[in-house]
């Protein structure tokens, strides 16, 4: 019923204005990793057409992740819920763009917003529009890595990705702030940040395994362990890990930009399949990430020399994903294997 009402609404906005070939809109309104995956495509389009203007419609997290990107001219940040800001955004977007490329959207109202803004060409991937694929003017089928999927969307503009590397644009002030934060802990031993949470439980390596790994690393390397988290709901688990690993240091995430500044100065980030994994990779920080239910060939680090994966096949067929109460598949990754890989990444013993 919702989609029928949306389709009926969009029927009133079928006017196609003359295309403005000098301005394009990219849409990426989900989380941190999805936002960072947009960087190679944005860069590729800008290098293909240096004189064009590239604007971005994104979430609050996306704005922080893509801030200071020199290829982006203007950023529209969605205020939640989108319903209340729909018409103010329409006023800003109206008749300004010939094409909108929808990289990723968690919002059902995004396509109606683009149509109501008279953007005649709407390029996206089939199966990712919450049942509204018919509102796309170009709908592509793609089951490759998320960066490659974005490159396929660029093909509608005769452009391609020239460099698949993720990048996060810290200012000099942000780099200095991160260094100041971490300097008191700098010794002649590795600095390791453990990000034990994730948006979804089925992506999480067991808490007890993180605790055991941290203790072994402290004994073996005499290293400093930082514990980070993203969403407030992750704090309880991370605090529990801190209580059982004396000497570990909890990082309260004041903001994403400061967290990135800290990640920029550690030697290794150990994490689940989550946004900070991509954030660390974009900063050329070493990463060790655990995968099982999700596929690293689709959502893992992409051609990153500093990224290392421990991957085990799913334990359940079909995968229960978000309905999973206990991710057995993640339990297949042993502490011994994680320790061995960590020591290998850090070149220990030298």
Q: Are 293 and 330 in contact (CB under 8 A)?
A: yes
At 272, the pLDDT band (50, 70, 90 cuts) reads very high
What is the spatial order of strands in the sheet that 53-58 belongs to?
74-77, 53-58, 23-28, 99-104, 121-125, 138-140
CB within 8 A of 43, min separation 6: which ones?
71, 161, 162, 163, 167
SS3 61: helix
**Can you state the angle between helices 146-154 and 38-48, rounded to 10 degrees?**
30
SS3 94: coil
pTM over cut 0.75: yes
CA distance 13 to 115: 6
What confidence score (pLDDT) does residue 266 get?
A: 97
Cis peptide before 203 (omega within 30 of 0): no
Residue 302 Cα to chain centre, angstroms: 12
Give per-residue pLDDT as tens, 227-253: 999 888 888 889 999 999 999 999 987
Residue 91 Cα to chain centre, angstroms: 29
Backbone angles phi, psi at 103, to 5 degrees: -75, -45
Give per-residue pLDDT as tens, 283-314: 999 999 999 999 999 999 998 889 999 999 98
CB within 8 A of 155, min separation 6: which ones?
140
What domains, with CATH codes, occur in the chain? 12-157 (3.40.50.2000), 176-343 (3.40.50.2000)
- Please give the radius of gyration of the chain, using alpha carbons only, rounded to the nearest integer: 21
Give per-residue pLDDT as tens, 170-210: 999 999 999 999 999 988 899 999 999 988 889 999 999 99
Regarding predicted confidence, which is higher, 56 or 321?
Answer: 56
- Rounded to 10 degrees, the C-alpha dihedral 28/30/36/41 comes to -20
Q: Are 350 and 189 in contact (CB under 8 A)?
A: no
SS3 56: strand
CB within 8 A of 139, min separation 6: which ones?
124, 125, 126, 133
Give per-residue pLDDT as tens, 138-173: 999 888 899 999 999 999 899 999 999 999 999 999
What confidence score (pLDDT) does residue 16 get?
A: 59
Name which of 6, 166, 11 is nearest 83 in CA terms. Answer: 6
């Amino acid at each position: 019923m919702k989609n029928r009402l949306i389709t009926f609404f969009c029927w009133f906005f079928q006017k196609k204005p003359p295309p403005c070939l000098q301005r394009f809109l990219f849409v990426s309104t989900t989380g941190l990793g999805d936002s960072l995956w947009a960087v190679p495509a944005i860069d590729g389009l800008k290098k293909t057409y240096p004189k064009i203007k590239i604007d971005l419609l994104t979430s609050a997290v996306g704005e922080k992740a893509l801030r200071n990107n020199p290829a982006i001219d203007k950023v529209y940040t969605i205020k939640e819920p989108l319903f209340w800001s729909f018409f103010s955004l329409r006023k800003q977007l109206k008749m300004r763009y010939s094409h909108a490329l929808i990289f990723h959207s968690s919002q059902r109202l995004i396509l109606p917003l683009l149509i109501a803004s008279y953007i005649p060409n709407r390029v996206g991937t089939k199966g990712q529009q919450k049942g509204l694929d018919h509102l796309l003017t170009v709908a592509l089928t793609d089951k490759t890595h998320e960066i490659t999927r974005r490159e396929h969307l660029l093909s509608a503009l005769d452009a391609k990705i020239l460099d698949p590397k993720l990048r996060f644009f810290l200012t000099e002030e942000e780099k200095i702030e991160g260094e100041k934060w971490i300097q008191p802990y700098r010794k002649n031993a590795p600095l390791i940040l453990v990000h034990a949470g994730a948006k979804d439980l089925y992506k999480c390596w067991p808490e007890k395994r993180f605790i055991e790994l941290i203790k072994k690393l402290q004994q073996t390397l005499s290293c400093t362990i930082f514990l980070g988290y993203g969403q407030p709901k992750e704090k309880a688990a991370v605090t529990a890990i801190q209580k059982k690993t004396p000497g570990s240091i909890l990082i309260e995430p004041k903001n994403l930009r400061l967290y990135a500044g800290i990640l920029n100065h550690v030697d290794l980030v150990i994490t689940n399949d989550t946004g900070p994994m991509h954030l660390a990779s974009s900063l050329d920080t070493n990463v060790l990430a655990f995968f099982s239910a999700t596929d690293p060939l689709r959502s893992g680090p992409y051609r990153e020399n500093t990224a290392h994966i421990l991957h085990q096949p799913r334990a359940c067929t079909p995968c229960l994903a978000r309905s999973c109460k206990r991710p057995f598949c993640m339990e297949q990754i042993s502490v011994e294997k994680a320790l061995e890989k960590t020591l290998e990444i850090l070149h220990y013993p030298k």
